[in-house]
Chain A
Amino acid sequence: AQSVTQPDIHITVSEGASLELRCNYSYGATPYLFWYVQSPGQGLQLLLKYFSGDTLVQGIKGFEAEFKRSQSSFNLRKPSVHWSDAAEYFCAVGNTGTASKLTFGTGTRLQVTL
């Protein structure tokens, strides 16, 4: 069964500082990996995805993530955080073939201090 672990429940960074959110997955084959962001009371917005190819993927809002098969990780990074980035971030793994069934991590709440 596929699973996702986000070890950090809550992270606080200063505006302008760099950010890295951790994500580890468990899946038998090459996974489809996603990062989503959720603002309070809102649905999820896709930041970026990895299906195959280049292991460093670029997303929206200046985010990027790197797929590391040897570490079963897909960490999300941003070089300079903005106050508007404060939100809940979810990593998800989808089954290959159709990526239909997404399994989400428990999320990391990002707080940005000014």
Chain B
Amino acid sequence: GAVVSQHPSRVICKSGTSVKIECRSLDFQATTMFWYRQFPKQSLMLMATSNEGSKATYEQGVEKDKFLINHASLTLSTLTVTSAHPEDSSFYICSARSHTYEQYFGPGTRLTVT
């Protein structure tokens, strides 16, 4: 089956620094990837849609200057959390959409900002 990886799986950073999270589709090409945020014991909230070769589309309320998304190739999308603050601590999950419109999810990245 389709596999999506995320790196790192866990990261701790200091307030004010930036953190980059990578999302890769390992065995298929994904023109569209998605970034979600999940708070403890809550559902996934879509943050943005990442399209290869074009600008990401952000959901209402998501700061595009804070959460920078780059989808430079058909197998890689990155999310950079800039000037991170403790309230940005969360579980970030990416997904990649296959040509059959299914979304395959990565294992997630746990971000802790101290």
Contact = CB atoms under 8 A, between A and B. Distances in A.
Interface of A: 32, 36, 41-46, 49, 51, 90, 94, 98-107
A105 B101 CA distance: 19
Interface residues of B, number: 22
B32 interface: yes
B56 interface: no
Contacts of A41: 91, 108, 110
21 contacts: A41-B108, A42-B108, A43-B106, A43-B108, A46-B102, A46-B103, A51-B101, A90-B43, A94-B101, A99-B101, A99-B102, A99-B103, A101-B46, A102-B34, A102-B46, A102-B103, A103-B46, A104-B44, A105-B43, A106-B43, A107-B42
A87 to B, nearest CB: 13
B97 interface: yes
Contacts of A49: 102
B49 interface: yes
A41 B34 CA distance: 19
Interface of B: 4, 6, 32, 34, 42-44, 46, 49, 91, 93, 95, 97, 101-108, 110
B107 A43 contact: yes
A98 B106 contact: no
Contacts, number: 53
B56 to A, nearest CB: 13
Given A36-B105, A41-B108, A43-B105, A100 B32 contact: yes
Given A100-B32, A100-B97, A45 B105 contact: yes
A46 B6 CA distance: 17
